[in-house]
Structure 1
């Protein structure tokens, strides 16, 4: 009986490992791109401006004078709104 033994090492093993590594890199890259696209497509919750933000914006735009601003801010503080 003649037994033919095949050498499992050598250049063939190097090419097999290289091919497996390349496929793993492709799969990992596809997963990373998919995760990035999913995370990017989620809407970012927007914070509504607080009453004090609106009041400060109106004062900065010149819609309110200093006395009106101080009075409105004092009323907001009475009710603990945004402070």
Structure 2
């Protein structure tokens, strides 16, 4: 009779520990998934960046670049 009581206590504790591990693991996974850093979408280049790249690539002259840059600056002041 003592054997069955000890075995019942062992299995009761084992099941309790397994439940604690399962619930703890689920809670850990939920926290881990919600606190994961979110990926930001890539930022678009500014109009000035595009203008500078076009000038660097030789697609426009220095005068065209200066004129376009002045227009961009005027537009920034309007906003």
What TM-score results when the alignment is normalised by the length of structure 1? 0.51
Partners of 2:33 and 2:73 in 1: CA distance: 48
Q: Determine helix, strand or coil for the equivalent of 2:76.
A: coil
The RMSD of aligned alpha carbons is 3.5
In structure 1, the gaps of 5 or more residues are 1-5
Cα deviation code 1:20-69 (max 9, x no counterpart): 22211342355357658xx67xxx54544332122111112111122221
Give the alignment partner of residue 77 of structure 1, picking from 54, 73, 76: 73
Give the alignment partner of residue 46 of structure 2, picking from 29, 46, 50: 50
What TM-score results when the alignment is normalised by the length of structure 2? 0.53
The answer to whether structure 1 residue 67 and structure 2 residue 70 are counterparts is no
Whichever structure has more helix as a proportion of its residues is 2
Give matches, 1:2-81, under 5 Å: 11-12=10-11, 14-28=13-27, 30-31=29-30, 35=34, 44-80=40-76
Partners of 1:27 and 1:76 in 2: CA distance: 53
Partners of 2:22 and 2:75 in 1: CA distance: 63
Partners of 1:19 and 1:79 in 2: CA distance: 65
